[in-house]
A = this chain, B = another copy of it.
Amino acid sequence: MAQMDAKQAEKISKALSDPTRLKILSEIKKKNDWLYCVDLYDNINLAQPSICHHLKQLTETSIILPEKEGRNIKYTMNNEVIDDYIVFLQGLKK
């Protein structure tokens, strides 16, 4: 990703503006590397399609990266996107 523009920053912000999605990110962080989708069903009190919906928003913005492993999917944090977003935020400051 080059320089993040306002439209991209808006999308990242929106992806981060939901308690379930922040919870998912903290679960990934807790796992330290890869989090399996299946593990979320234990920790998040929502129906499976809802969790799937939130994961989609996080993957579509590339905040997390999915990897298929058999019939499971595991996710990892994409630090680059967060870093680019931080650069954008720094640019807002006076």
A binding-site residues for B, Cβ under 8 Å:
6-7, 9-11, 13-14, 16-19, 22-23, 25-26, 28-29, 32-33, 76-77, 79, 82, 85-86, 89-94
Is the beta-carbon distance between B17 and A92 smaller than 8 angstroms?
A: no
- Chain A interface, DSSP helix/strand/loop, else mixed: helix
Copies of this chain assembled into the complex? 2
* A14 cross-chain contacts in B, Cβ below 8 A: 13-14, 17
Known A-B contacts: A10-B18, A79-B94. Give 6 more (CB < 8 A). A6-B19, A33-B94, A79-B93, A82-B90, A82-B93, A89-B89
Which of B13, B23, B82, B89 contacts A6, CB < 8 Å? B23
Is the beta-carbon distance between A10 and B6 smaller than 8 angstroms?
A: no
Is the beta-carbon distance between B32 and A92 smaller than 8 angstroms?
A: no
| Minimum C-beta distance from A53 to chain B (A) | 17
Which of B17, B26, B82, B90 contacts A17, CB < 8 Å? B17
